[in-house]
Chain A
Amino acid sequence: MMILGFVLALLAIIVFTFLAVVAIYNRLVSLRNRVKNAWSQIDVQLKRRHDLIPNLIETAKGYMQHERETFIRVTEARAKAMGAGSTGSLKEIAQAETTLSEALAKFLLTVENYPELKANENFLRLHEELTSTENRIAYARQAYNDDVLALNNKVEMFPSNIIASIFNFAKADFFELENKSERKAPQVKF
């Protein structure tokens, strides 16, 4: 009788442990997928910005003949950011994108001196798109970093850290843009 009770208790413990492991494992997988998904969202928005820039410059060129330097700076920053996006690490991407943001901000600041361009319907539309894209990048980054934090907490904390190390769940990197204020859209007036 004693042995039967002992075996039953042991069995219950094994079943319970197994269920707990399954639950934690599934939780980790869903967190990892969420991080992946959030990253792809950032990626989409960064690409969207890269696609917008040629149009923007094309529209502005006709009005701003004397701003070759600004155009070149933006174009170069864009090329670099696109290069980093295809090969670079998270840090390199962040750096290149920050440079691009700054170049864009400068470009939009010079637009101030061209009231005709500011009145251009097409430019206004592109500008709203650019503002929105900057916001989207910021919000996608915010969601991504939240997800990364949740995953990293699970990977580090007991008891999920045991399962994480058995099944090789690694911590994910945060995506930080090097800006003083939490986030910054290009400075432009209308």
Chain B
Amino acid sequence: MWELIERNKQRSLWLFVALFCVLLVLGGLIGETIVPSETPFMGVGFLGGILTAIIVSSILGAIAYWTGDDIVMSVSRAVLVTKEHHPQLYNVVEEMQIAAGLERMPEIYLIADDAMNAFATGIRPEKSAIAVTAGLVERLNRDELQGVVAHEMAHIVNRDVLFMSFAGVLLGCISMAGEGFLRGFFYGRGSRRSRIGGGRTHPIVLLAALVFAILAPLLARIFYFAISRKREYLADATAVRLTRYPEGLASALEKISGDPIDLEGYNRFTAPLFIVNPLEGTTTNRRNLFSLGATHPPTSDRIRILRALSGASFRDYQSAYMKVTRAADLFPERMLRDKSIVPLRQMNESEKVAESSRKTVKERHRTVGDALLAANGFTFLPCICGLTVKVPPALGKANIACPRCGRLLFLPNAEVRPLERGYETQSPAVDASLAYTRKGGNQWESFSCSCGHPIHLSPLCRASFIECRNCGRRIEIRSPDTTR
């Protein structure tokens, strides 16, 4: 499987090189028409045009490389979540990391949006991340979530984001250059008109530049979108290789495309990243002329292919693809050389049963909402009356009254101190490195571990130590009367 991915990288490189050559030729031709020279294709204009194209695309490429991941995350209003915030989501991602044999665990982001969608970034491998919306986590079961995460993991493994963003930068440059040139040529007045093609340009060069400026962006776009669609199919096929359970992804796609809520945090540039493009009407399932300019294949086709699979290998995916779309082959011959049979698996028994008695929608909504709040730095203070008070990070007070019963709740503030050397803990078995002294009295107490994780003690707590759930440090709990 990993050799296939290696080959796939080479293919992407060709796309990249081709787009780059087109950009260079376009730059050269435009330069030639602006600053004509005695011998065509040798003068300042031609070379200057090529140089400008190289410089502009490199600068944009560098910007995409260094800041692209952060920009995407901030456009989507995504927050980083850890295992503590939503264990199931974290587990599902880690399982896929193991299945993919990826060395580094991608970061997980949650998007505060009720729509259902997900995307992966990772222009730089050390910055790879998977983002899912709250709506997705809320309304998919474990197997479906697994399918979506597997699809995103496949994008990371295949390095799709890197290639597609760089190809996108080149495409943008080609469109920009072509459009700019045409505008300058047709609408330019006075001085500009005389500059472009001001008499001295060879008419054939001018014609070539015009034709190229019209055709290059168009062809590059069609080419780019075709590759993008192919990569979505490849990510689906890889996802099935990872989970061996196509129905999970299929029913997830069905739920996502049938979901009436529209995603909010995206723009024209981040839309192609999502598992289902929020810009493209997900309910339209006809392959019309417009689909030439679609970044994703029709979702209904993807679902039907997944449901027609008889095995998890790329060969199986290819034959299912040909059966459903009646189109020619999808993957190159090299990818299909591996003839080993990869069987699918049955639905997880636990999932089968879980379907019948899942948590209610309200409960799931609350779980995801709490995960979002916690990820945003809210502190959860349990009160003895049973209410959990969720306090925003910048409250600016040391305590807060419980809205139900009026008891004062204390916000955690670093009250643990490192133990001095040589001091013996109350229970010798415990190798505590921190200590917290209780205030006493009949109320909940909260403090934060030195790692910053808040810890809450019930008034009934009689433990002599507690383990921080975040960092695993052991903290000794001292009752007030034994304070030194």
Instruction: Give the interface of A toward B (CB within 8 A).
Output: 34, 38, 41, 45, 125, 128-129, 131-132, 135-136, 139-140, 142-143, 146-147, 149-150, 181-190
Residue of A nearest to B243 (CB): A139
Q: How far is the CA of A143 from the CA of B98 in the complex (A)?
A: 8
Instruction: Say whether B239 faces chain A, with CB atoms less than 8 Å apart.
Output: no
In this complex, what residue of B is CB-closest to A137?
B98
Q: Which residues of A contact B350 (CB under 8 A)?
A: 131, 185-189
Closest partner residue, chain A, to B343 (CB atom): A182
With known contacts A125-B87, A189-B354, A139–B98 Cβ distance under 8 A? yes
Q: Kindly identify, within residues 357 to 395 of chain B, every residue whose CB is under 8 Å from any CB belonging to chain A.
A: 357-359
A190 x B358 contact (CB < 8 A): yes
Closest to A108 in B: B350
In this complex, what residue of B is CB-closest to A189? B353
Interface residues of B, Cβ cutoff 8 Å to A: 1-3, 87-88, 91-92, 94-96, 98-101, 142, 242, 244, 340, 343-346, 348-351, 353-354, 356-359
Which of A125, A136, A147 lies in contact with B95, CB distance below 8 A? Answer: A136
- In contact, A182 and B346 (Cβ under 8 angstroms): yes
Instruction: Write out the residue numbers on chain A whose beta carbons fall within 8 Å of the beta carbon of B87.
Output: 125, 128-129
B244 with A128: CB separation less than 8 A: no
Residues of A within 8 A of B348 (CB): 184-185
Residues in A with CB closer than 8 Å to B92 are 132
Other A-B contacts than A132-B92, A147-B101, A185-B348, 13 sampled, CB-CB below 8 A, are: A131-B142, A131-B350, A135-B95, A139-B96, A139-B242, A181-B346, A182-B244, A182-B344, A182-B345, A187-B349, A187-B353, A188-B350, A189-B350
**Cβ 8 A contact of A149, one of B340, B345, B351:** B340
A21, B153: Cα distance in complex, Å: 35
CB <8 Å contact, B95 and A132: yes
Most A C-beta atoms less than 10 A away, residue of B142, B343, B358: B142
Q: A132-B91, A142-B244 are in contact. Are A190 and B344 (CB under 8 A)?
A: no
Whole-angstrom CA separation of A190 from B364 in the bound complex: 13
The minimal Cβ–Cβ distance linking A121 to chain B, given in whole angstroms, is 12
Give Cα A125 to B344, complex, Å.
29
Complex Cα spacing A146 to B99, Å: 10
Bound-complex Cα distance A127 to B142 (A): 13
- Judging by beta carbons under 8 Å apart, are B95 and A189 in contact? no
State the 3 A-B residue pairs at the shortest beta-carbon distance, nearest first.
Answer: A182-B345, A132-B91, A139-B99
CB-CB nearest in chain A for B96: A139
Q: Indicate if the CB atoms of A128 and B91 lie closer than 8 Å.
A: yes
Contact B354 A143 (CB under 8 A): no
Could you say which residues of chain B place their CB within 8 Å of the CB of A149? 340
The 26 sampled A-B contact pairs (Cβ below 8 Å) are A125-B87, A128-B87, A128-B91, A129-B87, A132-B91, A132-B95, A136-B95, A139-B96, A139-B98, A139-B99, A147-B101, A150-B2, A181-B346, A182-B344, A182-B345, A183-B345, A185-B348, A185-B349, A185-B351, A187-B353, A188-B353, A189-B350, A189-B354, A190-B353, A190-B354, A190-B357
A34 vs B350: C-alpha distance when bound (angstroms)? 31
Residues on the A chain within 8 Å of B98, using CB: 41, 45, 136, 139-140, 143
Residues of B within 8 A of A181 (CB): 345-346
Nearest chain-A residue to B103 (Cβ)?
Answer: A37
Q: Which of B94, B98, B345, B348 has the most CB of A within 10 A?
A: B98
Q: Is the CB of A184 within 8 A of B244?
A: no
Which of A34, A129, A146, A189 makes the CB contact (< 8 A) with B91? A129
Whether the Cβ atoms of B354 and A132 lie closer than 8 Å is no
Q: How far is the CA of A55 from the CA of B351 in the complex (A)?
A: 23
Q: State in angstroms the CA–CA spacing of A183 and B245 once bound together.
A: 11
Cβ distance B377 to chain A, nearest Cβ, rounded Å? 22
How far is the CB of A139 from the nearest CB of chain B, in Å?
4
List residues of chain A with CB within 8 A of the CB of B346.
181-182, 184
A9 to nearest B CB, angstroms?
31
A111 to chain B, nearest CB (A): 12
Distance, CA A186 to CA B353, complexed state (A)? 11
Instruction: Please name all residues of chain A whose beta carbon is closer than 8 Å to the beta carbon of B244 when the two chains form the complex.
Output: 142, 182
Which of chain B's residues have a CB closer than 8 A to the CB of A185? 348-351
Chain A residues positioned under 8 Å from B95 (CB to CB): 132, 135-136, 139
Determine the chain A residues whose CB is within 8 A of the CB of B142 once the complex forms.
131
Question: What is the bound-complex CA distance between A143 and B2, given in angstroms?
Answer: 11
Q: Are A143 and B344 in contact (CB under 8 A)?
A: no
B1 to chain A, nearest CB (A): 6
Which B residues are in CB contact (< 8 Å) with A128?
87-88, 91
Q: Which residue of A lies closest to B88 (CB)?
A: A128
CA distance A41 to B184 in the complex (A): 60
C-alpha gap A95/B353 in the complex (Å)? 27
Residue of A nearest to B353 (CB): A189
A142 vs B101: C-alpha distance in the bound complex, in angstroms?
A: 10
| Distance in angstroms between the alpha carbons of A71 and B78 in the assembled complex | 44
Residues of the A chain whose Cβ atoms lie less than 8 Å from the Cβ of B359? 190
Chain B residues, Cβ within 8 Å of A45 = 98
The answer to whether A136 and B94 touch (CB under 8 A), given A125-B87, A181-B345, is: yes
Nearest CB in chain B to that of A146: its residue: B1
CB of B435, distance to nearest CB on chain A (Å): 25
A132 touches B353 (CB 8 A): no
Expressed in whole angstroms, the minimum distance between the Cβ of B75 and any Cβ of chain A is 31
Contacts of B351 in A (CB 8 A): 185
CB distance from A129 to the nearest CB of B (A): 7
Which of B142, B340, B348, B357 has most chain A Cβ within 10 Å? B348
Q: Which residue of B lies closest to A34 (CB)?
A: B101
The chain B residue sitting closest to A41, CB to CB, is B98
Q: Nearest Cβ in chain A — how far from B149, in angstroms?
A: 12
Give the CA-CA distance A101 to B350 in the complex, in Å. 13
Complex CA gap A184/B1 in Å reads: 24
Given A132-B94, A149-B340, A189-B357, also A184-B99 (CB < 8 A)? no
> How far does the Cβ of A145 sit from chain B's closest Cβ, in whole Å?
10
Cα distance A139–B102 in the bound complex, in angstroms: 12
